[in-house]
Amino acid sequence: MGVCAQQSYQSSQKKSYKVRVLLAQTVPDNGFNWHIKASDGVVFIDPEHPAHKLMYKNNNLNVTYKDGHWLINNKKFKTSKVCIVPQKNHLDFNDNSYAGALLLTCQDQKLYLINIVDLEQYVYCVLRTESWPGWPLEVNKVFAIACRTYALHMITNYQLKKVPYHIKNSNVHQTYKGMHARNDLKQAVDETHGIFLAHNNKPIIAMFDICCGGIIPSFMQGIDFIKAPYLARDYACIHCKRCKVFNWKAQYSLDQLEKILKQEIQPLKRLKSVKINKKDKASLIQELMVVGSSGWHSLPIKKMYSLLKDSIKSYSFSVAVQGKNVIFSGNGFGHHLGMCQWGAREMIRDGWKYDQVLNFYYPGTRFMRLN
């Protein structure tokens, strides 16, 4: 039995937690249409005056915005915010079904469509995309706690960002595609209900990637470890080395790569070579040197990563020119911070418990439970 299972958790202050997940964003008067479906009608609510409710039987909602007003099926709303609550079941948007309510709001000349959903329901939904089918319950408990902790951190700090949502629905934060029906994931959420990781009694920013590649995070450059000391793990994860995603390769012809790199380096002509120019103490690349007949050009790794995001999996790689081809050979998949998902999978295979895995990847944290 793990440490967590034996101890009583310290509980945080009693509070009802709802997550505001950004589903869509646009600007006024650009001709957009958001299509929302309900199974049995909806209720429109003014969030500023919750007693103001309007029953609406139409199951198909066409949302637009014109002259400072929301229009739903051409019905004008005088408020800047409209909350849409299903009378039964759920709401559909962009081929996904969502529990809870949808909020339409305008702020700083931007329009937002936000899903307001219970925290535990959110974690359950997120696990569909942040876990892998067939992985054991104990791994999904690890992921459930990490995802819940990350969401709580975003809820706690969202006011600093001055936006009306807590978290985005993409892998910029956590990938969220609404409801599903996987009972194994529900069990993982239920058995860890309310548990999160804390530092100084606050939810940590529980970052994770697919495969850390054996990098020691405390050696990484450009990370504010003062604010997040639990991410400064000073020992390597060796568990993911057995996984197929640990190593990767990508190959481009010189002509192919030249066309891509010209998006950032317009003077580039006749690409000859790509070399590593700068690394940090963790051996992660910070800057590359691109050599052509036009001379050499420096390129930050973030720019290279964005240009080759479909093939370059991490900042840990070597590069070589072989004939007319450029070969990238790397290890790791993601940003190398926090929990390594495939490493966690292997640790569970070796008999570790979910609390031991989380203590390994987020040193100096402790477990708490929401009331």
Average pLDDT over residues 112-117: 98
The burial class, CB within 10 Å (0-12 / 13-18 / 19+), for 309 is exposed
Residue 154: name the closest of 22, 33, 29 by CA: 22
Distance CA 63, CA 26 (A): 12
**By percentage, how much of the chain surpasses pLDDT 90?**
85
Residue 5: name the closest of 139, 186, 191 by CA: 191
21: pLDDT strictly greater than 90: yes
Higher per-residue confidence, 303 vs 7: 303
Q: What's the one-letter identity of residue 336?
A: H
Residues 232/217, Cβ–Cβ less than 8 Å: yes
47: pLDDT strictly greater than 80: yes
In tens, the pLDDT along 147-161 reads 999 999 999 998 788
Question: Residue 301: which H helix or E strand, with range?
Answer: helix 301-307
Average pLDDT over residues 139-152: 98
| Residue 2: predicted pLDDT | 36
Distance CA 92, CA 90 (A): 7
Higher per-residue confidence, 14 vs 357: 357
| Residue 6: predicted pLDDT | 33
> Number of C-alpha atoms within 13 angstroms, CB side, residue 293?
4
Higher per-residue confidence, 104 vs 6: 104
Give the pLDDT band of residue 371 (cuts 50, 70, 90).
confident
Distance CA 329, CA 53 (A): 59
335: pLDDT strictly greater than 50: yes
Beta bridge partners of residue 297, listed in sequence order: 290
